[in-house]
Structure 1
């Protein structure tokens, strides 16, 4: 997927989420983010899109102004649909004004801010729509190709140099001496091999023998690796090898620390 495809998907995913939550009970707990209510979820999705729109649209190389520009979601939940759709449209418009190589702040450490943020907003929309589905008792469906893209975002973000350097607790937990994990989507083209090393987690997009492997539909794999569905409840996934190694990995895949 390219930047345009990511942002088009952000608009589509956000529109579905907005339809679900509009007029909802703001105090409803979000089971997949135990410290959040439905209002917190809506606020997070829209505010993040607006923050990224500022970073990209204003070509920020230092993000403090974007964080300072936070605007909360409407307190009236009947206004949520329009607000969320407006946030997504604002984000897409911001990306239309830049090229992939336009310099903007990139927290991953790879100096590729525009592609990073387009993919990050896409991954956010996919995962948080799953949060909304769990909250409202709605069936969550995601096309396999989109689910692969969201897995790619999750794994790339969690194994980035920037994340390792800024989350010492994660780095401590993930340091290893070559332990390997293989993730395999069976209904779309997507395979990843992660290797825990002393100073990083190395991620390759390849098939390979690993200490533990998990395979199944891309959507179910996304829900498990993003901690939106317990591994024990994902009955269609197959796990081969060191289950404890996979459990340890999932336990530490929590970049939103209060979720």
Structure 2
């Protein structure tokens, strides 16, 4: 997927999200984010749209201005739908106005800029729509290829140098001696080998023998690895190898679950 495709999906998924949450009870719990209410979830998604819109639209080289311009969600939940849809549309306009190589700050540590943020907004939309689906008892669907792309975003973001350096709990939990985990989507192209090293998690797009292999439909892999569905609730997934390695991995995949 390219920047345009990512942002098209962000707008489409946000439209669905907005329809689900509009006018709903703000205090509704979000089981997949135990410390959040529905209001917190809406606030996070919509505020992220606006922060990224400023970062990309103004081509900011550091994030303080965008962070300081945080815009909370409306207190009246009947305004949530329009607020979320407007934020996604503004984000798409911002990306449409810049080239992929425009210099924009991002937290990955790889100076990925505009492409990083287009994929990250897509990944956020894909995962947080799953949160809303659980909270509101809605059916979550994501086609195989977009689900594989969202999984790529999740794995790449969570193993980035920036994440390692800024989350000491993740770094301490993921330090290893070469232990390997292989994730394989069966309904769309996608294979990843994660290797735990003392100073980083190395992620490769390859097929290889591993200490732990988890394979199955892309959407199910996405939901399990992002902690949006328990492994025992995803019978379509096939696990081979050391289950403890997977449990430890999932325990530390908590960027947006708290």
TM-score normalised by L of structure 2: 0.99
Q: CA deviation at 1:169?
A: 1.3
Q: Secondary structure at the match of 1:40?
A: helix
Provide the C-alpha distance between the structure 2 equivalents of 1:215 and 1:256, rounded to a whole number of angstroms.
Answer: 23
Give the aligned partner of residue 100 of structure 1. Answer: 100
Q: CA RMSD in A?
A: 0.8
Provide the C-alpha distance between the structure 2 equivalents of 1:197 and 1:61, rounded to a whole number of angstroms.
Answer: 31
Give the aligned partner of residue 18 of structure 1. Answer: 18
Give the aligned partner of residue 165 of structure 2. Answer: 165
Give the aligned partner of residue 78 of structure 1. Answer: 78
Q: Deviations over 1:31-75 (max 9, x none)?
A: 000111111111110000100000010111110110100111111
Give the aligned partner of residue 232 of structure 2. Answer: 232
Provide the C-alpha distance between the structure 2 equivalents of 1:126 and 1:118, rounded to a whole number of angstroms.
Answer: 13
Contact preservation (8 Å) 1:161, 1:200:
yes
Q: Secondary structure at the match of 1:193?
A: strand
Q: CA deviation at 1:167?
A: 0.8
Q: CA deviation at 1:236?
A: 1.3
Contact preservation (8 Å) 2:38, 2:132:
yes
Provide the C-alpha distance between the structure 1 equivalents of 2:219 and 2:171, rounded to a whole number of angstroms.
Answer: 27
Q: CA deviation at 1:256?
A: 2.7
Contact preservation (8 Å) 2:45, 2:128:
yes
Give the aligned partner of residue 213 of structure 2. Answer: 213
Q: Deviations over 1:161-205 (max 9, x none)?
A: 111111111111111111000001111111111000111100011
Determine whether 1:33 maps to 2:33.
yes
Provide the C-alpha distance between the structure 1 equivalents of 2:111 and 2:212, rounded to a whole number of angstroms.
Answer: 32
Provide the C-alpha distance between the structure 2 equivalents of 1:100 and 1:200, rounded to a whole number of angstroms.
Answer: 27
User: Unaligned 5+ residue runs, structure 2?
Assistant: none
Contact preservation (8 Å) 2:176, 2:196:
yes
Contact preservation (8 Å) 2:33, 2:256:
no
Corresponding residue pairs, total? 258
Q: Secondary structure at the match of 2:254?
A: coil
Contact preservation (8 Å) 1:185, 1:215:
yes
Provide the C-alpha distance between the structure 2 equivalents of 1:110 and 1:5, rounded to a whole number of angstroms.
Answer: 22
Matches within 5 A, 1:136-175: 136-175=136-175
Determine whether 1:3 maps to 2:18.
no
Contact preservation (8 Å) 2:29, 2:135:
yes
TM-score normalised by L of structure 1: 0.98
User: Unaligned 5+ residue runs, structure 1?
Assistant: none
Give the aligned partner of residue 243 of structure 1. Answer: 243
